[in-house]
């Protein structure tokens, strides 16, 4: 790598090299360049330190932040740089906060205003001397006689030249050299033989804040900045996400965690824990008896049974861990919208690809698959952020035609669901509900449109059932598509890959002119003599196809009979995946399952929600 005579520097914290031009090291930076930096939080100019250098809050990325914003973020915010997320280190002249590293040296804040002789030891100041210098009596009460105005040689400093019109009984605010942390300000003339303060005129165009911590102008500026932040927070509370300002501190609702854990009352969980303990005691007594009473006539069978019983007992104990301390989580969908969906701007929510897998339409009815697809297309999520991929591992033309009918019905069903906030958004289960559908529906057009939609769905079911009846009789030469060519999937074990995009292309919109989520039919290639790995291979094929078409960072895998009964399910998952604090540690979110159409005897224990909710 050629450097052209320049120096190459690097850092163990950042994976990059920096080329330093030796000719530029000695160049004097102009005042215009020094004062051109603007704070990216409040918009004010970056002040200078006492050494004449621009203030730098973050030593890692040098993100431009002024000292007031730096100290406010350390005290009230997340104590990290907004750009590189590195924790702010304490800079000389700034107050300490919780979490700062302990320093062996003296705290510079306690002595940063020390104008006494440098040879004196700081720890030699006694409390008596401290009281005398502050004009206090031994009891700590200020003597009025000591506060009387006296002649002072220290002129009053104004935001310009020295003001001679101010009466002599007014004195400047002088901070004692050993006032604890620079917080005490006494309006008394302070004189010391070892300290002289000559008159110093100030540049009217120069901000007082550049002289460092403790100036009056800095205090006023900080108070003004705090007042503006409080006003902005009040506006956000009243206007919600209609108000957008990049200067908001990170304590507003849009920057708070998107989920939390809810405690479970002990009255509910303790009885179950007692049952677990009782079962463990019984299991212990059982093994005590079994081990101490072996069967000598069939020792091999006895040993085999003991090993199996121990294995089942250990498995049961592991199964009790999540049930002993279950976790209930709650999400904040309003905070998610406030953070990633702002008026007048495109949605910043991450894209999601939903995979639906099916094999044999004769065992998995196409009407059930269609309801699952419709519930996905009608979910409450930005349409350009959702894509539904249906994997037909059986290469059945019946599934292909059923998806074609489903895409046509979705142009009517999706706007109806979003207009009236329908739940659930699978039409078969929505119309089968034994509920008062007029409850909370005050729009006069709802009844009329609901009846029309139910009639449309009944016609849709008739068309799907007609396709199923037609598929019962397969022609000898195989199925033929509408253009006259043979269906490529007539041979299930030997056919090329097939991809068909039904929605999301060619300007296909719903009846109200709105865009629809993408719907893609996929049937992977199969050849004799090659292992296709069943459902796992089908999922791999969907991942490859989705990477080319939509390439969403998040995937949701559902079976063909698993419809989404909560239209905000994707948003619920994003509250964990896109959480600013915990999102980087989360890679998997599992939804609890529910079952409809359970038989009277419940032979598969589908009503037992303990496993699906807690495990």
pLDDT value of residue 556? 94
pLDDT at position 358: 93
Under the banding of pLDDT at 50, 70 and 90, the label for residue 119 is very low
For residue 559, say whether it is annotated as part of any ligand binding site: yes
Up-side HSE of residue 332: CA atoms within 13 Å toward CB?
18
Mean pLDDT of the 532-555 span: 93
Stronger pLDDT, 376 or 42, i.e. the higher one:
376
Known binding residue 357? Answer is: yes
**Residue of 584 and 402 predicted with greater confidence:** 402
d(CA 165, CA 150): 17
Select, from the ranges 78-82, 433-437, 453-457, the one with the highest average predicted confidence (pLDDT): 453-457
Decide if 19 contacts 3 (C-beta within 8 A): yes
Write down the residue that tokens 């007692």 correspond to: 274
Question: 3-state SS of the chain: helix, strand, coil percent to 5?
Answer: 40, 10, 50
Q: What angle (nearest 5°) sits at the alpha carbon of residue 524, between those of residues 521 and 529?
A: 160
Instruction: Note the residue count of the chain.
Output: 615
Question: What pLDDT, on a 0 to 100 scale, did the predictor assign at position 106?
Answer: 43
Question: Is position 393 annotated in a ligand binding site?
Answer: yes
Residue 408 pLDDT grade (very low, low, confident, very high; cuts 50, 70, 90)? very high
pLDDT at 589 over 70: yes
Share of the chain above pLDDT 70, in %: 66
Q: Calculate the average pLDDT of the chain.
A: 75
458 is in an annotated binding site: no
Higher pLDDT, 259 or 232: 259
Per the annotation, does 364 bind a ligand? yes
Residue 372 and residue 357: Cα distance in Å, rounded? 11
The residues, ordered by sequence, that sit 6+ positions from 65 with a Cβ below 8 Å of its Cβ are 39, 40, 41, 46, 57, 58, 73, 81, 82
* pTM over 0.75, yes/no: no
């Amino acid at each position: 790598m050629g450097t052209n005579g320049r120096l190459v520097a690097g850092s163990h914290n950042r994976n990059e090299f920096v080329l330093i031009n030796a000719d530029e090291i000695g160049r004097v930076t102009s005042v215009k360049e020094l004062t051109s930096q603007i704070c990216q939080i409040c918009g004010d100019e970056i002040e200078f330190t006492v050494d004449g250098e621009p203030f730098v809050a973050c030593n890692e990325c040098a993100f431009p932040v002024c000292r007031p914003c730096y100290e406010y973020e350390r005290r009230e915010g997340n104590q990290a740089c907004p750009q590189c997320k590195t924790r702010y280190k304490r800079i000389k002249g700034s107050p300490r906060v919780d979490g700062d590293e302990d320093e062996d040296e003296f705290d510079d804040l306690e002595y940063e205003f020390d104008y006494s002789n440098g040879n004196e030891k700081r720890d030699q100041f006694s409390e008596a001397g401290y009281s005398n210098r502050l004009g206090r009596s031994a009891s700590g009460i200020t003597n009025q006689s000591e506060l009387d105005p006296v002649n002072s040689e220290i002129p009053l400093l104004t935001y310009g030249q020295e003001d001679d019109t101010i009466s002599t009984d007014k004195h400047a605010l002088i901070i004692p050299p050993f006032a604890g942390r620079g917080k005490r300000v006494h309006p008394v003339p302070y004189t010391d033989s070892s300290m002289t303060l000559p008159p110093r005129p100030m540049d009217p165009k120069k901000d007082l804040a550049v002289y460092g911590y403790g100036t009056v102008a800095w205090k006023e500026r900080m108070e003004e900045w705090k007042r503006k932040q409080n006003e902005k927070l009040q506006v956000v509370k009243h206007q919600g996400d209609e108000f957008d300002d990049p200067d908001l501190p990170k304590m507003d609702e849009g920057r708070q965690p998107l989920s939390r854990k809810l405690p479970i009352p002990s009255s509910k969980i303790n009885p179950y824990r007692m049952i677990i303990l009782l079962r463990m005691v019984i299991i212990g007594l059982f093994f005590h008896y079994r081990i101490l009473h072996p069967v000598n006539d069939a020792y091999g069978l006895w040993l085999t049974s003991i090993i199996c019983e121990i294995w089942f007992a250990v498995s049961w104990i592991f199964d009790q861990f999540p049930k002993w301390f279950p976790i209930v989580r709650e999400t904040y969908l309003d905070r998610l919208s406030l953070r990633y969906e702002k008026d007048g701007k495109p949605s910043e929510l991450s894209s999601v690809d939903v995979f639906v897998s099916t094999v044999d339409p004769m065992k998995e009815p196409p009407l059930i698959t269609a309801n699952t697809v419709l519930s996905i297309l009608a979910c409450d999520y930005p349409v350009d952020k959702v894509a539904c991929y249906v994997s037909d591992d059986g290469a059945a033309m019946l599934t292909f035609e059923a998806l074609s009918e489903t895409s046509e019905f979705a142009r009517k069903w999706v706007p109806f669901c979003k207009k009236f906030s329908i739940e659930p958004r699978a039409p078969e289960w929505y119309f089968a509900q034994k509920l008062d559908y007029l409850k909370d529906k005050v729009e006069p057009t709802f009844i009329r449109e609901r009846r029309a939609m139910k009639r449309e769905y009944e016609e849709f079911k008739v068309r799907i059932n007609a396709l199923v009846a037609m598929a019962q009789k397969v022609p000898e030469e195989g199925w033929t598509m509408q253009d006259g060519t043979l269906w490529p999937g007539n041979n299930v074990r030997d056919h090329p890959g097939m991809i068909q995009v039904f929605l999301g292309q060619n300007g296909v919109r719903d009846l109200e002119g709105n865009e629809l989520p993408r719907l893609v039919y996929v049937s992977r290639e199969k050849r004799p003599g090659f292992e296709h790995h069943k459902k796992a291979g089908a999922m791999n094929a969907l991942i490859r196809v989705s990477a080319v078409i939509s390439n969403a960072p998040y995937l949701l895998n559902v079976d063909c009979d698993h419809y989404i009964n909560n239209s905000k399910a994707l948003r619920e998952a994003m509250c964990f995946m896109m959480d600013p604090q915990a999102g980087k540690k989360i890679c998997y979110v599992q939804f609890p399952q529910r079952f409809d159409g359970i038989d009277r005897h419940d032979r598969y224990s589908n009503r037992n929600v303990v496993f699906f909710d807690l495990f």
